[in-house]
Amino acid sequence: MNRFAVGIRSNVRTFLRTPLNVVLALVLPLVVIEGWGQAMAGLPPMPTIEAIPLDLGRVLGAIFGVAIIAGLMGLVQMISAREADRRLVQTGYSPRTLLATRLATLAGVTIVVAGVNFGVLWLTVEPEAPLLVFAFLALAGVVYAFLGALVGAVLPRLFEGSLVVVFLAMMDAFLSGDSPLAADVPDFVQYFPLYHPKELLQSAVFDGTFAAGDLAFVGGYVLVLLVLVTAVFGATMRTSGGWSA
C-alpha cells in the first residue's frame, strides 16, 4: 500500500477513534439548521425588512453549520498533527504527500458532514435540485476546511487559530448570509468564503439552477487556498539545517 493510502487510512482512523466527534458531527447540523431557521422566521417584517421564510433560514443555517464544523476540523487536524508530521518528514515522507493525505481526509469527512446537513435539509425543505444542493454544501465545507487548515498552518496554536476561524465564520455568516439586519454591505463581502457558495446553494434549493460564474469563483477560491496551504505547510515542515524547523 502506498504512503498516500496509509496516511488517509490512519487519519480517518484517528477521527473515528473518538466517537464523540462523530456523534457531534451528526447532531450539531440538526441543531444549527433548525435553530437558525426557527429564529430567522421569528423576525417581524418591517417596511425595509423582508420576512425570512423558515426554509431560507434553514438553508443559511445549513451552509453555516457545514462551514464551521469543517473549518474547525481543518484547524485542529493541522495543529494537532504538526509535531508528528515533522517527524514523518524527517523520516523521509514528502511534505506534499503528507499534506495531500491531510486534505484528502478533511475533504472526505467534510463530504460526510455535508451529507448529514443535506439529509436534514432534504427532510425539512425539499430542494428543487437535490444533487446540486449536496454538491454545493460539500463545496462550502471544503472551502472552510481548507481555510481552517491554512489558519492552522500559519498560527500553530489552537486558541489563536480558533479565534480567527470562529470570528471569520461569524462575520461571513452575517455579511454573506443575506442577513435581514444588514444594509450597506460593503463590496468586499463577495470575496468572503461563503458568499458565492451561499448564492449557489440558494439557487439550487429554490430554483434548481446555478450560475456558472459563482461556481468558477468558488473553484478558484479552493485553488488559491490549496496553493497557500501547500506553500505554508512546506515552509513549516522544512527540516534541512537542523533538528527542528
Partner 1 sequence: MNRTATAFGIGLREHARNYVLVALLVILPVSFITLAFAVTQDVQMPVRTLVDGETTTVMRGMPEVHGVIMTPITSSFIAGLAGLFLMREARDTDGRLAVVGYRAREVIAARFGVLAVITLVVVGVSVGVMLVDFQPEQLWWFVAAMVILSVTYGLIGMLVGAVFNRLAGLWIMLILPMIDIGLFQDPLFVQSEPEWWMKLFPGYHPVRVMVDTGLTTDLDTAMSLGWGFGYLLVVGLLAIWVYYRGTRAT
Angle at 68 between CA 107 and CA 155, to 5 degrees: 80
**What is the C-alpha to C-alpha distance for residues 42 and 101, in angstroms, rounded to an integer?**
44
CB of 70 to partner 1, least distance (A): 11
Question: How far is the C-alpha of 219 from the C-alpha of 213, rounded, in Å?
Answer: 10
Q: Please identify, among the stretches 88-96, 167-175, 194-202, 209-217, the one whose residues bind partner 1 according to the rule CB under 8 A.
A: 167-175
Q: Which residues, in sequence order, are bridge partners of residue 225?
A: none
- Check the CA dihedral 27-33-38-43 and report its sign: positive
Considering only 158, 206, 226, 228, the residue that binds partner 1 (CB under 8 A) is: 158
Provide CB contacts within 8 A for 61, sequence distance 6+.
Answer: 32, 33, 34, 35, 36, 37, 40
Q: For residues 69 and 142, is the Cβ–Cβ distance under 8 A?
A: no
CB closer to partner 1, 100 vs 166: 166
* 94 contacts partner 1 (rule: CB under 8 A): no
Kindly tell me which residue out of 68, 99, 114, 215 binds partner 1, with binding defined by CB under 8 A. Answer: 68
Binding residue (CB under 8 A) for partner 1 from 11, 36, 59, 147: 36
Interface with partner 1, residue 241, by CB under 8 A: no
Which residue lies nearer to partner 1 by CB, 157 or 238? 157
Q: Specify the DSSP class assigned to residue 128.
A: S
Residues that bind partner 1 (CB under 8 A): 18, 20-21, 24, 28, 31-32, 35-36, 39-40, 42-44, 46-49, 68-69, 72-73, 75-76, 80, 155, 157-160, 162-164, 166-167, 169-171, 174-175, 181-186
